[in-house]
Structure 1
Amino acid sequence: MTPYSTTTTPARFLLLGDSHAGPIGRAAKAAGIPFQGGPIGAGREFNAEFFDVREGDVVFRKAAADGHYRGFLAELGAAGLGDAGVPLVCTFGFSAHFLATTENWRIYRVRGGGFAPGFLTSGLFDAIVRATVRDALAFYGHARALGLRVLAVMPPQRVPGLSDPAVFGAAQESVRGALAELGVEIVDLRPRVTDEQGRQRPEFCENDDTIHGNLAFGRLILAELLARGL
């Protein structure tokens, strides 16, 4: 997704994220809701070692990501993240399908292929997930320390074949809990978009795709953001 221009209308929020931010941006653009931002990279790039702190700002280590980000700030008339002047909507750290890659959890399985009772709700599991997304959490924490209102959007409930559904669900809960501790608002549409098994309903899934939500999903997220005053 390319950066969006808000022309002369003040932006309501800054959107930063991976590809899961795409439907949000498309929904806002279609509805004429002014904002700045969009996806600046792939989900796996925003878990660890992806940014450096600068006074009142951040610098993304990948030049392409930082270039998009600087463009968004310029459109907002901001020198840095702390000067954005609008809430931050973000999807970093919620690439749960990546966290749930089945092979990564093989060493924690017991005989028979499952996990020991209570493992997915244990302190060990939570610590592993938090360590995996440590710099995503640090990014949110830095944004909060700069005084920004921050809203994190939970991912579509879609589990591709290489990921473990149980780990997917547990991992996103660990990320959610860590963000709540930082004072980040969580946008969670699961009760509205999932079936009896907790999976994303087809009408909210991108066609010919195993991971992403579609424009209808983005519209629900946008409606929730607007309902929260953005």
Structure 2
Amino acid sequence: MTPYSTTTAPARFLLLGDSHAGPVGRAAKEAGLSFHGGPIGAGREFTAEFFDVREDDVVFRKPEADRYYRGFLAALGAAGLGGLTVPLVSTFGFSAHFVATLENWQVYRVRGEFPPGFLSSRLFDDIVLAMTRGALAFYRQTRALGLRVLAVMPPQRVPGHSDPAVFMAAQETIRRAVLALGVEIVDVRVRATDETGFQRAELCETNDTIHGNLAFGRMILADLLACGL
């Protein structure tokens, strides 16, 4: 796990996330944009309960993640999350390929297929939201603290152990839920995908089935800057 903080000028945002935060941090570092933060764990660690609330702050349950987080806060001069004076950019909850793991969904198939309307049903939404409840609780807490929060949609890449249809539907369920909490969504899918709906090859990390590359990070950074960061 590699934080990508820069300190050449007053920081413009705090970046917290899983490995999908990596390309964003690398792009910001390349551009000389001052920020603090980076990936603090794997995507599967930020779906169910992964933090506790402490007054106007959160404590990550995984010691390594909390250690990184405390270092970022110290660099920003903040005693806790409630004292943050810059926007928060996060990828928590958007590693939809974990949600879409094939084994999770076999029980809902009938003769190998989902029943008509299943992926747009209330039941599907409830399952996805239950699986990502920790990330939703995190966004809810940050908004309760009055923070400006921007959540980044994931690369449109689905590894072989995940169901593409579930991935596509699940990320939409998560997006709607996060948006309803007052979080801004950074969504570059229209520009990052080809006619198949999946990530364009030139925006994919080489020899990797999940992540976007630096070019993808630059695309996200451009949208963050357009949002005023």
TM-score (ref. length: structure 2): 0.98
Partner Cα distance (1:190, 1:99) in 2: 19
Deviations 1:142-171 (A, max 9, x none): 000101000000000001001100000000
Q: Which residue of 2 aligns with 1:129?
A: 128
Partner Cα distance (1:105, 1:148) in 2: 35
Would the aligned equivalents of 2:24 and 2:221 in 1 still touch at CA under 8 Å? yes
Would the aligned equivalents of 1:24 and 1:218 in 2 still touch at CA under 8 Å? yes
Q: Which residue of 1 aligns with 2:200?
A: 201
Paired AA for residue 51 in structure 1: F
Q: Which residue of 2 aligns with 1:217?
A: 216
- Unmatched 5+ residue regions in structure 1? none
Partner Cα distance (2:96, 2:4) in 1: 27
Residue 21 of structure 1: CA displacement? 0.1
Per the alignment, in what secondary structure is the counterpart of residue 6 of structure 2? Answer: coil
Residue 6 of structure 1: CA displacement? 3.3
Per the alignment, in what secondary structure is the counterpart of residue 59 of structure 1? Answer: strand
Q: Which residue of 2 aligns with 1:2?
A: 2
**1:8 to 1:207, Cα distance in 2 relative to 1, 3 A:** closer
Would the aligned equivalents of 1:40 and 1:69 in 2 still touch at CA under 8 Å? yes
Would the aligned equivalents of 1:144 and 1:182 in 2 still touch at CA under 8 Å? yes
Paired AA for residue 211 in structure 1: I
Residue 3 of structure 1: CA displacement? 3.0
Pairwise mapping of residues 57-206 of structure 1 onto structure 2 (< 5 A)?
57-111=57-111, 113-206=112-205
**1:4 to 1:162, Cα distance in 2 relative to 1, 3 A:** closer
Partner Cα distance (1:203, 1:24) in 2: 16
Residue 8 of structure 1: CA displacement? 5.0
Would the aligned equivalents of 1:152 and 1:185 in 2 still touch at CA under 8 Å? yes
Deviations 1:92-124 (A, max 9, x none): 00011111001110000012x010000000000
Partner Cα distance (1:3, 1:197) in 2: 33
- Unmatched 5+ residue regions in structure 2? none
Runs of 4+ in 1 over 4 A off after TM superposition: none
1:50 and 2:50 aligned: yes
How many equivalent residue pairs?
229
**1:4 to 1:205, Cα distance in 2 relative to 1, 3 A:** closer
Give identity over the alignment, percent.
Answer: 77
Would the aligned equivalents of 2:21 and 2:38 in 1 still touch at CA under 8 Å? yes
Per the alignment, in what secondary structure is the counterpart of residue 38 of structure 1? Answer: strand
